[in-house]
Structure 1
Amino acid sequence: MMFSTLVDRRATEDPDGPAVADSAISLTNTELLARVEAVTAQLADLGIGPGDVVALRLTNRVEFVVLLFAAWRRGATITPVNPALTDVEVARQLDDSAARLLVIEEGTVGVGDVATLSIAHLAASPARSIPPVEDPSALALLIYTSGTTGVPKGVMLDHANLDAMTAMGRDALRVGADDRCLLILPLFHVNGIVVSVLTPLRVGASVVIADRFNPDTFFDTIETHRPTFFSAVPTIYSMLAALPDDVRPDTTSVRFAVCGAAPASAELLTRFEERYGFPLVEGYGLSEATCGSTMNPVEGIRKPGTVGLPFPGQELRIVGSDGLPIGPGEAGEVEVRGANVMRGYLGRPQETAAVINNGWLRTGDIGYLDDDGYLVLVGRSKEMIIRGGENIYPKEIEDVLSADPAVLEAAVIGFPDEKWGEVVVAFVEARPSMVIDVRALKARCREQLTGYKRPTVIHVRTRLPKNAVGKLDKRALRDEVTSALK
């Protein structure tokens, strides 16, 4: 199916049925179509057409969803931008994606020379109807994610990818028209867009966009809106599980919740389900695979400690160091294949070829399959840090630290943390005859890095450890931090 015409289909089949809502706006299917047509005409008037890129630097709100469908009706591409990014980071994404338009929150300002549209000026009434573009090969999303080099790359997902992934999600999660999804995760993540918006809307379900997550008010939202499912990261579930024992909300509407983006302990999953009465189904995926690749069954045997079975329509295998598949119980690199695998990295053919071979996507993650085919993750071959579900790549932070004139070299590691899963810890070595000002380094990080990427602590060392071939020995640094905490 084409998402450029999904709103038309919903308006025809169920005109007065609920579509999408937030704390300020609630739209029926007919009203959603009218908003989308109005913004489609507005984008056309701004010169946006097939192949153009529209950047959305927005918080979670109904207008984000309207803009998704409006851009796709024009044959344009959406690149979501984290609103918390610094202007330096935003400019990098706008430049790499060649964005023609940046949509921003009311009261904020644009970045660079890219044309800007304030959400306050978004059209609400249809000016004219413009025929939608229907091209499965058209680029739908550019999701920016960093690689091991720390250089952000645009993951190219076309409409065929979204069609495949949402069909897989529908079948794996067993969602239908009677469901209501509560959107918690940010819409600048592919998970928020695909799992919490596109999949439910595809099957005739409705979406409620929650306000910023607050563990003290979250269950009030559940009781008010009565969702049947939602998706979140382990940090959120940890916060909810830590609420006082006298917090006993009515969760009878919730059939299940999805746990993803970072590993969760089997103990957390079990404890949460026992307390709140609905299952957490842990899954695994990545942006390059349009979000999900495995999932513990909603109906069937769930195995805490695993990330479940492959989504319907996807293949998964474990390969050894020689690149050949290995059997159950043997750990190796996880590879996936299916119509959900990305088209590639924007403008990076060599990096694309390095991760996609004969349709198989190298994930960079290490795991094994148990005797029943459930995937168990045991580590990451990449150095990626996952803090509260946010992916952090050390090289990007190391580059910021190393740009200080007093810093000779920097090393960044992730260290286990009970609340966030992992936190960022940095080590720096001074240039000869120079003194490092840690306060100045922290100020540099505040200027150039989003809050979750900033180091929790910066250690100054006279010399950073190296291995036999002269590379930074990050394992030794992790051991050092571990020993210091004992």
Structure 2
Amino acid sequence: MNQTPLAIADLTQQRASTDPHRACIRDAEHALTNERFHSAVVACAARLSGFGVSSGDTVAVMLPNCVELVVTMFAAWSLGAATTPVNPALTDDEVTYQLEDSASRVLVAEDRGGALASALDIHHVDRSEVLPSGDSPAGTPGPGPALDDFALIIYTSGTTGRPKGVLLDHANLTAMSDALITELSLTEDDTSLLVLPLFHVNGLVVSVLATLRARGAVVVAPRFAVDSFWEIIETTRPTFFSAVPTIYALLDAKTDRAVDTTSLRFAICGAAPMPPELIGTIERRFGFPVVEGYGLSECSVAATLNPVAGPRKPGTVGRALPGQEVAIMGLDGELLPPGASGEVVIRGANVMRGYLGKPEVTATVVRDGWLHTGDVGRLDEDGYLVLVDRLKDMIIRGGENIYPKEIEDVIYRHPAVLETAVVGRPDPVMGEVPVAFVAPRPGMTIDPAEVSELCERVLAKYKRPVEVQVLPSLPKNSVGKIVKGFLRQRSRA
């Protein structure tokens, strides 16, 4: 039965009061009913409040996928504070930057977080302290957020170096989750299986927030592995999950037994283009529809989706979600007709409020209400979006966005490097992997192993180049700009 989605501000209390013993969220260690989830949020909010957290503050969470992360997020929201999820794979330097840039007041993390928080003189809450040891008093966890209170600060790598904080408020998240609930027909009978990491907006909004607002339940899976994935499907009986093409490719390549997928209504694919042939293979082999979509953090996660109960067009990323406009814009700023290629632009209540502390950059990306994605695409006669290319040089490795400029900035720290360029090389499993090209300063030599060691010290593992090639010089055009097209061809040879 379809019901009006619960408001974020009183979601935990409403679920607890209307159906206290119904399953809410679980992981490998904890299974919380609506009542226990609400009690945990109340207790966590009281702890955060004791550290002075209130409206306008930021709480950082650096945890693997777990119930505690979701509890902390709702606790911070109840106080009017924002949450910034931190990828645990980041180096100390990268984590410190995010904590300082977001002005985080508290860091919720495991053992490693204590030293990081101490160095910045902020509070640290250990994961073991998030869930109450006994029953917590019922009640309202906090005053609740306003629609214009910031909810999430999602860090996304930029083409100009350090990652940028994408500011999403509660109005953004409400509009986005409303659209997903409507498009996917989510109800209290749905259970999502969370596969993607919770430091990404996809996992937070699609698998958690939209499902909980629809009164459904969430199963938080451990780190993805083919065998355990199917066991979780068969034992927890989810109705949907969201994943990236790499996961589907691994499921196809490494599943060697019959699996029971009868609980699944559909599965979602995003983060990178999925080959139409792979979509067809997954649907035929495992018996559930795969709906491919498109979006980015700056639009609160999704802009288009192939319909579950309508014509799905492999090779496209679907139609605009309810409440959004997706169009193609030419270089002159005019919207283009169906069939014409240009920049994909998005307009709607889901579009971010801006980049944290970067009003000039925000003004170049959001113009006249349109979010400029930097992606090239075209709409067909039915409004389905076909992605043609990327204006950006972004590399998508297993669903993780990597911007070459961030890697290049690190490589330039090597004293013998005169110039460098990082490009993506196709990979059958990961989609793309980064390859670095370097040229030495006159009279100097470069040991590729030293460049790799430098990247290992500074960059998260998924950002590190899989190969470093040394050339006498890098190819350039007539104005001296490095030509990456030639290097991409060379990386594939």
Q: Same fold (TM over 0.5)?
A: yes
Residue 91 (structure 1) aligns with: 96
Q: Which runs of 5+ in 2 are unaligned?
A: 1-5
Residue 115 (structure 1) aligns with: 123
Question: 1: CA distance between counterparts of 2:235 and 2:482?
Answer: 52
Match for residue 82 of structure 1 among 58, 77, 87: 87
Match for residue 337 of structure 2 among 327, 331, 342: 327
Q: In angstroms, what is the RMSD of aligned CA positions? A: 1.2
Taking the TM superposition and a 5 Å limit, the aligned residue runs for 1:445-460 are 445-460=455-470
Residue 215 (structure 1) aligns with: 226
Could you tell me whether the CA contact under 8 Å between 2:394 and 2:403 is conserved in 1? yes
Q: Which runs of 5+ in 1 are unaligned?
A: none
Residue 309 (structure 1) aligns with: 319
Could you tell me whether the CA contact under 8 Å between 1:428 and 1:461 is conserved in 2? yes
Letter in 1 for 2:124: T
Residue 181 (structure 1) aligns with: 192
Could you tell me whether the CA contact under 8 Å between 1:2 and 1:134 is conserved in 2? no
Structure 1 residues 230 and 152: CA distance shift in structure 2, 3 A:
same
Could you tell me whether the CA contact under 8 Å between 2:7 and 2:213 is conserved in 1? no
Post-superposition offset of 1:43: 0.6
Taking the TM superposition and a 5 Å limit, the aligned residue runs for 1:95-106 are 95-106=100-111
Taking the TM superposition and a 5 Å limit, the aligned residue runs for 1:374-453 are 374-453=384-463
Could you tell me whether the CA contact under 8 Å between 2:299 and 2:352 is conserved in 1? yes
Residue 163 (structure 1) aligns with: 174
Taking the TM superposition and a 5 Å limit, the aligned residue runs for 1:25-424 are 25-106=30-111, 109-111=114-116, 112-113=119-120, 114-124=122-132, 125-126=135-136, 129=139, 130-244=141-255, 246-424=256-434
Letter in 1 for 2:76: A
Question: 1: CA distance between counterparts of 2:14 and 2:143?
Answer: 13
Which secondary structure state, in structure 1, belongs to the residue aligned with residue 98 of structure 2?
helix
Question: 1: CA distance between counterparts of 2:79 and 2:241?
Answer: 30
Question: 2: CA distance between counterparts of 1:314 and 1:131?
Answer: 32
Question: 2: CA distance between counterparts of 1:312 and 1:63?
Answer: 32
Post-superposition offset of 1:305: 0.3
Question: 1: CA distance between counterparts of 2:177 and 2:468?
Answer: 42
Question: 2: CA distance between counterparts of 1:76 and 1:108?
Answer: 20
Question: 2: CA distance between counterparts of 1:481 and 1:126?
Answer: 58
Which secondary structure state, in structure 2, belongs to the residue aligned with residue 50 of structure 1?
coil
Which secondary structure state, in structure 2, belongs to the residue aligned with residue 212 of structure 1?
coil
Could you tell me whether the CA contact under 8 Å between 1:284 and 1:307 is conserved in 2? yes
Residue 22 (structure 1) aligns with: 27
Query: Which is worse superposed, 183-192 or 214-223?
Result: 214-223
Question: 2: CA distance between counterparts of 1:164 and 1:276?
Answer: 32
Could you tell me whether the CA contact under 8 Å between 1:106 and 1:120 is conserved in 2? no
Post-superposition offset of 1:174: 1.2
Could you tell me whether the CA contact under 8 Å between 2:152 and 2:167 is conserved in 1? yes
Q: Give the number of equivalent residue pairs.
A: 482
Post-superposition offset of 1:106: 4.3
Could you tell me whether the CA contact under 8 Å between 2:42 and 2:142 is conserved in 1? no
Give TM-score scaled by structure 2 length: 0.96
Could you tell me whether the CA contact under 8 Å between 2:411 and 2:417 is conserved in 1? yes
Post-superposition offset of 1:108: 5.3
Post-superposition offset of 1:14: 1.0
Letter in 2 for 1:96: D
Post-superposition offset of 1:149: 1.4
Query: Which is worse superposed, 206-215 or 429-438?
Result: 429-438
Could you tell me whether the CA contact under 8 Å between 1:2 and 1:159 is conserved in 2? no
Give TM-score scaled by structure 1 length: 0.97
